[in-house]
Structure 1
Amino acid sequence: MERTGDSPERGRALQEAGYRKLQRAFAACAEPVYRIRDPWLAPCTLAEGHTVDGSLQSLTLAYGSWDTGQPHLHITTWRDLPGQDFEPDAAAEFPDTPGEEITVGIDGHPAEARLLRSAGGAWLLRADPGRVHLLAFGRGPMGDLAFERLVDIAPVIDARRSFLASRRRGR
């Protein structure tokens, strides 16, 4: 969250308040949030998270470059909340792409998933393990598509802080 109309201090204070809110919701959430088990791209940063009435609804982790043309991987875990019909945005590259059914590892167990591949080198995977949903989107190598629970949100928030600080220094 970069607020151009606010002072830099006010913008960072709002970011930090958002991080604290997200950390509380993550800690209170009984449902798993997934990360890639053996990342082949680094760093892993918080891309975005959504809470509804203090409950975690979705969390997206970004691996690799934030430049869309470079190899990258985004993992979104979300859960349906009562009265909500949330669906993360899917890449526009896949409207009519035929998919293939594959098996991926989730928490050490096989799970069915649907994989879509674009001619441009992007791919999209969706799995629905239990009461949560998992969407992985990438460009470049797919690597090992096995997922495990994210147990600590602090390192990915710290990585986002570092990324945003580097962007501010680069201006």
Structure 2
Amino acid sequence: MTHRQFLLALLIGLLAIPAGSASAQRIEDYPGYFDFRQLEDVVGAETTLEVNFKGAILRMAAEAARIEDDTLADMLLKLRGIQVRGYSLDRSARKALEDRIGPLASQLAADGWDRVVRVRDDDEFVEMLIRDTTGERVEGMMVFVIGGGDNETVFVNIVGEIDPEDIGRLGRRFRIGALEDL
């Protein structure tokens, strides 16, 4: 996993804290939830990284963040969960996966997700989609990153209310160039 991918996964992990009493609703019922079981047959490999944060674990992380940054903690409490899956794939497997993820991202777009970032080059494949069911706030984010020079492939799903300004603020705080201008 590259330094940039690690920082992105860490940032997204920090964003995924659910609110207290509202967390009784199942994460699967939120519009921004992505069921990673859809990827099992597509990827065809075992995960090398799996993160599933929701409920009490996320609230605990928000309170830990409050020690240094009240604004960050409040932002995290708006979220319901985060899921991350990482895979170590060789070059040919990554290329085959790119051919499968494109149609999956298109299907998500047809199901109401908005494609906001799409990168295709020799070394990197990125799709970022957001779920905005109200027209006023983002309720979920799905990111597919199929690695550059390394063998890492990472998929991230953030579930809950996401303010693009908050993502930009976090990008500036942690000096993650791709997120600083959001």
Q: Scaled by the length of structure 1, what TM-score is found? A: 0.36
Greater radius of gyration (CA): 1
Q: Scaled by the length of structure 2, what TM-score is found? A: 0.34
Query: Which structure has the highest helix share of the two?
Result: 2
Query: Which structure has the highest strand share of the two?
Result: 1
